[in-house]
Amino acid sequence: MLALSLLPACANDHFFPRLKPLFAGLDESRVPAAARAALARAKVDFQLARHGETPRYALHVGTLPCTHSQVFQGRGYQVILVNKDLVNTTETGPEIVLDSSITQGKPYHYDEIDRLGQ
């Protein structure tokens, strides 16, 4: 019975182990040489956020209203440690937004937010 109760969780894209590459869908070959250092810092910060740790390079700039989500701003990116406890759902995990100075196009959004509840 216990195994059957875990099946819905295994269908979640963010269930351990995370098998997708970091920043899936981002074409890193299009990142200009001048922005590669910023991308490297963004990756380090996101990896730390994955494990519930404070980003190393991005600076804390505030908390999102009505949540416990912490926002960190880096050079060319923003990391959000999402922590929303809503009425019927809970959302936790890291989110990152890379701006156009890194992507050379539209901003890139990636998250590993676990959503529990309805």
**Tens-digit pLDDT profile for residues 33-86:** 999 999 999 999 999 999 989 999 999 999 988 888 999 999 999 999 998 887
Q: What is the pLDDT of residue 117?
A: 78
CB distance 71 to 62 below 8 Å: yes
Question: Tokens 């216990």 — which residue?
Answer: 2
Q: What is the pLDDT of residues 2-16, one digit of tens each?
A: 555 555 545 445 454
Q: What is the pLDDT of residue 3?
A: 52
Nearest residue to 54 via CA among 84, 81, 14: 81
Please give the model's pTM, rounded to 2 decimal places.
0.79
Tokens representing 109 are: 């959004």
